Chain A
Amino acid sequence: MIDSLTRPDPDQIRDWLGDVPDPEVPAVSVMDLGIVRDVQWQDSELVVAITPTYSGCPATSVIAFEIEAALRARGIDRLRIERRLSPPWTTDWITQEGRRRLEAYGIAPPAESAGGPSPFDRFLRKPLTIACPRCRSENTDRVSEFGSTPCKAQYRCRDCLEPFDYFKCI
C-alpha cells in the first residue's frame, strides 16, 4: 500500500513509463511518442492522462492496459487512466530520442512541423523530401499516403531499393 510519504513522484513514474513500448512501433516508448499527457497524484490515486494518436487507433486501449500493468508491477495499486482528446496529438510531441529511435528502427521520422497549409490553401502540396532511414539517400518516392498503420506512409528508396515507412506529420 502506497501512502503519501512513500508514493513515487511523477518524474519517477514518467521514467518508468519510458520503458513501456508502443504496441505497434515497439522501438519507441509511450513517452517518446508523447502519448502520455499528464501524470499526477489525486490524493492517493494516480491519474495518468493519455491521448490517442488517431481517432481509430486500435493501439490506444492496448497502451492503457500496458501502462496500467507496468505501474501495478511497480506497486501502484490505485490508478486511473484518463483519455484526453484535446489538444489533439501531434507528431511535434515525439521527442528527439523518439525520432532517433524511429530512424534506427527503419522508420523515417516526421519531416516537418505539423499544421501546414490546408488542402484548400495550396492546390497541390509540394512533395516532401524524405531521407531513406537505411542509406540516407534523398532519392526516394512516395508509394502511398498510408502505410501499415494510419500514422505512416509508404516510401521506397531509389538507391538502396528498400521500401520503408515514413511517420507522417499530423
Chain B
Amino acid sequence: MNAQDALVEYLLRLGDNALILGHRLSEWCGHSPALEEDLALSNVALDLIGQTQLWLNLAGEVEGRGRDADKLAYLRDARDFRNVLLVEQPNGDFAATMARQFYFDAWHYLLLHGLTGSTDPRIAEIAAKGLKEVTYHLERSQEWVLRLGDGTEESHRRMQSAVDDLWMYTGELFEGDEVDQVMVRDGIGPDPATLHEPWLGLVRATIEEATLTLPQPGWAQKGGKRGIHSEHLGYILADLQFLQRAYPNATW
C-alpha cells in the first residue's frame, strides 16, 4: 500500500469514527433523561461533527479526487466507511450510551494526544484542537460511569451490563494493520497497540471506583476499520444520507 492511499484510509477512519458516534449521539436530541443531558449530548455530538469536517476535508484533499467532507459523509456506502464497530452500536439505555462513550473517549483522548506529535502538521493541528474538546468528553463520560455504577441497585445493574456488553468491541481499537504500519513508519500516528496499556489503566481504575467489575478479556469483534460492519451502520446511513440520496445536491 502506498503512503498516500494509507493516509487517506487513516484519515477516513479518524473522520468516520467521529461522524458515526456524533450521529449516534444526535439521536438522543429531544429524548434524554433530563434537559441538561440533552444539551450535553448534543454538544458532544457537535464537537464530533466539527472534528469530522476537519478530518474528512483533509481526507478528500489528500485523495485529490474532488471529494470534500460532505461528499464523503453523504455519498459513500456502508462498505466504504472505516469507523470501528464500537461507535455504531445502538444507544441502548443511558448507561449503554455513557459506557460506549467512556470506552471511546479514553481511547480517543490517547489517540489524539499521540497525533499532536504527528510529522504531518495538518494532522497535528486538528488533533491539538480536538484534544481540548475530548478532554471534556472524557471527564463527563467517566463521571457518568462512576455515578451510575456507584449509584442505585438499578443503575449499577444497568451500567454493569453496559460495560460487559460493549467490551467485545474495544479490542478493535488497539489492533494495528497495514495502514497503521505505514503511519507508524512515517511518524504520522501512534501504534494502536501502545494505547492499550494506558487505556486499560484508566478503564480499570474507573470501573473499580464505580464498584463495577472489569469484564474479562475475551473474543474481540472487529472489521469496521476494513469496512466490514454490523447491520446497524446501514440503518444509520439510511437516516444520515436520506436527504442527499433522495434530493441530490440539496442545500439549505
Interface on A for B, CB 8 Å cutoff?
52, 54-58, 85-88, 90, 114, 118-120, 123, 125, 143-150, 154, 168, 170
Q: Is the CB of B39 within 8 A of A146?
A: yes
User: B39, B49, B142, B198 — which one has the most chain A CB atoms within 10 A of its CB?
Assistant: B39
Which A residues touch B136, using CB under 8 A?
145-146, 168, 170
B148 at the binding interface (Cβ < 8 Å): no
Q: Is the CB of A119 within 8 A of B51?
A: no
Bound state CA distance, A170 and B109, in angstroms?
Answer: 15
A-side interface mostly: loop
Stretch at the interface among B76-84, B125-133, B239-247: B125-133
B202 at the binding interface (Cβ < 8 Å): yes
Q: Is the CB of A55 within 8 A of B53?
A: yes
Contact of B125 (CB < 8 Å), options: A85, A114, A120, A149: A85
Give the total of B residues in contact with A, Cβ under 8 Å: 39
1/0 per residue, CB under 8 A from A, across B37-60: the answer is 101100110111111011000000
Contact of A120 (CB < 8 Å), options: B39, B48, B198: B198
Q: How far apart are A61's CB and chain B's nearest CB, in angstroms?
A: 11
Q: Is the CB of B40 within 8 A of A170?
A: no
Q: Is the CB of A119 within 8 A of B135?
A: yes
Q: Is the CB of A145 within 8 A of B50?
A: no
Q: How far apart are A163's CB and chain B's nearest CB, in angstroms?
A: 10
Q: Is the CB of B36 within 8 A of A154?
A: yes
Q: Is the CB of A56 within 8 A of B50?
A: yes
Given A56-B46, A146-B40, residue A120 in contact with residue B109 (CB < 8 A): yes
Which A residues touch B139, using CB under 8 A?
119, 125, 145
